[in-house]
Structure 1
């Protein structure tokens, strides 16, 4: 029998508008960075690694979905690339300060995207 939460999540993803999917990706990235930090603090290194990889996967997905005909896309590509390289470094060094740095960028991107969505609806 299927997990009801997973069924709900799958339904939400398949029926969402592109801008909502982007918001979900940003929120997921923040979540996995925070989980990675928490796992590192608790010395659960395998979980830390797993969550870090999930955040990296989200950044990869965000990079793939950029439409390079828009000028902002080049800037976002550079930002995502930087964040991903920092996550890789954090994973190798098990450095919570780097996770904190990338979390700050991820939160800022999430908040900016939410505000852009509000502005677009006006």
Structure 2
């Protein structure tokens, strides 16, 4: 088995065994990666790759939008922010401008970092409760 196949098996296993919170974190990380790559592609005038990476980031944001529970108040606050990120990604793509991509990236990084803290605090709480049992 080649190294690539081992890595792919590891990746598949990571996704298949991840909690919902960890999957969301993976989505945010992927979105950050694709936006950063799109910005590099734009600088290198590789417009086809830029477009592909922006579309990947947009698909991730759309997936995050679909997973929002409309009954939960925070979801009602997140939806317009996700819509704004999608708009900025589209603007950066159509106009070949870096500023809207940087703006979108800033939001995604902030969401990702906040989500990371939520996971960390949840684990600490679960660990503390488990230690008391």
**1:3 match: secondary structure:** helix
Counterpart of 1:105 in structure 2 is 107
Give how far 1:18 is off: 0.2
RMSD, matched Cα: 1.3
CA distance in structure 2 between the aligned counterparts of 1:8 and 1:75, rounded to whole angstroms: 35
User: TM-score, structure 2 length as denominator?
Assistant: 0.87
Between structure 1 and structure 2, the one with the greater Rg is 2
Structure 1 segments (4+ residues) deviating >3 Å? none
What are the Cα deviations for residues 57-86 of structure 1, in whole angstroms up to 9, with x where unaligned?
Answer: 000100111112211001111111110111
In the alignment of these two chains, the number of paired residues is 122
Say which SS state the counterpart of residue 9 (structure 1) adopts: helix
CA distance in 2 between partners of 1:47 and 1:5 (Å): 24
What TM-score, normalized by structure 1, do the two folds share?
0.94
Task: Note the residue ranges of structure 1 that are not aligned, 5 or more in a row.
Answer: none
